[in-house]
A and B are shown apart, each in its own frame.
Chain A
Amino acid sequence: MSATDSIPAPAPAADKLTKKELTADHPTWCPGCGDFAVLAAFYKMIERRQLPHENIVTLAGIGCSSRFPYFVNTHGGHFIHGRAVPLASGVSLSRPDLHVFIFGGDGDAFSIGGNHLEHGARKNINLTYVIMDNFVYGLTKKQTSPTSPLGFKSKTDPTGAIDQPVNPIKKLLAAGATFIARTHSTQINHMIQMMERALNHDGFSVIECLSECVEFFPGAFDAGNPRKGGEFKPIDEKKWDNTPEDEQRHDITDEIAAYKLADLPFPGLFGVFYESDRPSKNVLEKKWVDATRAKLGDPTDLEVLQKTFDRMK
């Protein structure tokens, strides 16, 4: 009997999962916050995919956007600042039956949790991480964030930010994330598409979602919003159709090309920058566990421990 044998088969198809079943507390976000749209897109994506209700887990660290799990009626956890990735990794690695989602902000992901983001990506833990990037610290009321642009005036940079901002896509590429996408909270269908593709991906899938803080950085993402006079430019992905125009399209398995796309001036492009089929830690560890147990002849726990103690006599 192994520790994971006990996980039951998915429940018989319950009633259809709709927004009604998925709604929990009313969000505490400010009116007009971009995060409302991310929540709506998540409901829509779950409705579309009809995942077993009990197998959805939403986890978060600390920040405005990290309140997300309270607003979704699924198993959920609201953890400490910056550590949602390792928490979610523990859930993912020990429970292959679950769909693990993390929601959080730029401070959580790129500042206090930056190291965990890199190692979660390197280890390629199977989970989906939606980073709602607003370029500012909102919960603590307007301090500079790791993605705040140069010159941004905040309470901690009254004369304008002087620290080079993080480029999330480049950071994720360098760390080894196996699915990297970028979207905009005003583009609901694009968000749903990106979430679905992230869910389909077996490995560490990250979506940077520009989500405006109307209170402390209003208008930050207008340049990517056609309704505010900007332009939302999706990545033109290669179709592998042997046409001459396909030559110009982006190969999402090309890391260098993705790096170059990520360097375009703000607001840049939106869509999938990179995807790789490098095996996840979940798969590699399971392979090791299975081989170990097979070599031992699939013994009971008592048999394994007794044998170990017999060697110590």
Chain B
Amino acid sequence: MITSNGLVDPASPSSPAAPRADLRPKNIRDAVIRLAGNSQDGIQSAGALLARLAGRSAQEVMTYMTIPSTISGGPSIFQVRMGTGEVVSAGDEADFLVAFYQHSYEDHIDFLKQGGVLLYDSDNVQPNLDDRRFVYVGIPITGLTVEALGGTAKDKGKNVFILGLLAKIFDLDVAKLERLLKEKFGGKNESILNTALMAFHAGYAYPVGNVLATRYKFEIGADATGPVQVTMDGNQALAYGLIAGGVRYGAAYPITPWSTIMETLRAEFPKYGGLFVQCEDELSAVSMALGFSYAGHLAITGSAGPGISLKTEAIGWATMAEIPLIIVNVQRGGPSTGLPTNVEQSDLYQAIFGGHGDSPRVVLAPSTVEDCFYTAIEAASIARKFSTPVFILSDASLSTRIQAFDEPDLKSLMADPKPDLTPRPAGFKPYPLDAITRHAPPGTRMLDGQYPIVTGLEHDEMGHPTGSPALHVEMTARRRHKLQQLAAEIPLPEVFGGEDGEALVVGWGSTYGPIHEAVKSARQRGESISALHLRHLNPLPNGLERIFSRFKRIIVAEMNDQGLYGYGQLATVLRARYCDPKIRSLTKTDGLTFRVREIIQGVLK
């Protein structure tokens, strides 16, 4: 941690042998808890319950998880950072490490900060107690869970046992947690819920005071009475944002980490009278989505990078035929199958330049879970207004990150999903040279009896094919002009920190948290550093050069390779756009999110 949160007391390492009477209360502002086990241990659901509890308690919360790409088994972590006040990143180091297995301990002990607490399953883990940097709390979690559940459930339920332990240690609201357990397990048969509650209470009742001196209590935040919070992950926020944005139809093919969006929409769209279709392949998916859009229902398709490659030809058609469409790319490490469950921001070029021909595309990137929701709404509005495909670039880290954010005012946000089938007057042109395309979907009566055609061939204003060089010049410019018009309408993003100074860290997408935490921390140490985060990556908003001119160095931090010429993907785009040699690059390709200290080191060097 860059700033001390009050949790860790490096002066008092203890050993599991030292007996304690009871937990002494201690106030803390935030805590980073990392649960490390295997993917089948249910640590994701335990972590998600903690996150939801934090959301309900007006505490800020941020989670981070990795899942293995194997079907079952394999190491997995879930990290929850809960706190009072703004929490923007999942934290570089853990205050509390829960280790289920020896490998969990060995792989993650270096993430535990000095003086941090290692809570380990003494049935499976033998830590090196000679390492005096940490506080060791060994509990026979497997044995106690089996005992609590009567031996029939084997060791399933360890996750909920630990939830009970953590509830005790962090003085969490037991009634609220019980309610959450009921919501999670209550829908199935009653015995599952009872088992969960038994495991929870066994963990809560464990005399943890015997091995740990302190009970941690979160300080009450100043805004404890603030707006109601909703807690969800990035893929859910994107899906519900699309619904608020009036999207009711879509089609896709499963691929990690995109799939949970299509699963959500498949279940949700019918509630709104819409439909999501699982297709035989990516080409069918984008084509069917274009069919929905052509029929007047703005549609969504999505994938990860490899699938987007397959959709590319049809997206080119959407650009030429000017059919609105939302394409979500939940980025993962590439190229090819690459690192399917790791994070990377290496599909920016693909999104901006991946089309054949001169095909300008709109590209947006959400920065947080909350921003996934609002970016989806904006994407829908842009797609409609400019009758064009719009990319949303999310990533593997945002997709599973659970965050609490202020409940949106849905009433003011809901967009109308209805197609416009009002009869069109005589002289209607689908591709007017002097205006933006407004398609008349099939079913629309054309009062002059002239019916329009949408096409991927270069065409005249009525959509009929033409080989005229002059028309191709005009139509190409027309497709460019509408994106230039969009650029003029995009608001300039706000600079975080000072309006001028030594360095400006420019970021996009899920790096928002670590970049902002790094800048905040560096400023507290007197460094003259600010941050600028871009949601609109193509077209870029007009006027960025005015912001850049006030800083000596522009450092573009992004999770992709430095490329052949030493610059990451956004850095290259910005250098091409502004021809400004002070634009530099800070990149990484280890498949993990930026740590705060990596950004600070990268910017200050």
Contacts and interface: CB of A to CB of B under 8 A. Distances in A.
Interface of A: 1-8, 11, 21, 24-25, 53-55, 57, 69-70, 73-80, 82-83, 85-95, 97-98, 115-116, 118-119, 285, 288-289, 292-293, 296, 299, 301-302, 304-306, 308-309, 311-313
A171 B56 CA distance: 57
A79 B290 CA distance: 10
Contacts of A115: 280-281, 284
A293 B270 contact: yes
A15 to B, nearest CB: 9
Given A94-B297, A312-B230, A54 B465 contact: no
Interface string B244-270: 100011010000000000000000101
Contacts, number: 210
Contacts of A2: 272-274
Contacts of A95: 295-296, 441-443
B581 interface: no
A57 B244 CA distance: 30
Contacts of A301: 243, 272, 414, 417
A24 B465 CA distance: 12
Interface residues of B, number: 75
Given A90-B292, A301-B272, A313 B456 contact: no
Interface string B432-453: 0000000011111110011111
A124 to B, nearest CB: 13
Contacts of A53: 445, 449, 451
A304 B410 CA distance: 11
A94 B453 contact: no
A312 B272 contact: no
B529 to A, nearest CB: 35
Contacts of B272: 2-3, 301, 304
Interface stretch (B99-107, B131-139, B313-321, B491-499): B313-321
Given A309-B230, A313-B56, A94 B295 contact: yes
Given A55-B443, A116-B283, 7 more contacts: A1-B273, A78-B456, A90-B287, A93-B277, A94-B292, A313-B56, A313-B407
Contacts of B273: 1-5, 289, 293
B421 A6 contact: yes
A313 B229 contact: yes
A80 B456 contact: yes
Contact of A305 (B228, B249, B299, B410): B410
A55 B83 CA distance: 58
Nearest to A292: B270
A73 B451 contact: yes
B271 A293 contact: yes
Interface in B343-388: none
Given A77-B454, A305-B410, A305-B414, A54 B446 contact: yes
B244 A77 contact: no
Contacts of B411: 302
Given A87-B288, A116-B280, A302-B414, A94 B275 contact: yes
Classify the interface of chain A: helix, strand, loop or mixed.
Answer: helix
Contacts of A25: 464
B183 interface: yes
Contacts of B441: 75, 95
A73 B450 contact: yes
Nearest to B284: A86
B284 A309 contact: no
A299 B268 CA distance: 13
B321 A70 contact: no
Nearest to A92: B291
B419 interface: yes
B407 A98 contact: no
Given A83-B283, A90-B289, A309-B410, A77 B240 contact: no
Given A7-B443, A86-B283, A90-B249, A305 B421 contact: no
B134 to A, nearest CB: 35
Interface string B304-341: 00000000011011000100000000000000000000
B552 interface: no
Nearest to A82: B283
B232 interface: yes
A198 B32 CA distance: 64
14 contacts: A2-B274, A3-B248, A5-B418, A54-B444, A55-B442, A75-B440, A76-B453, A76-B454, A77-B454, A77-B455, A86-B283, A90-B277, A91-B295, A288-B270
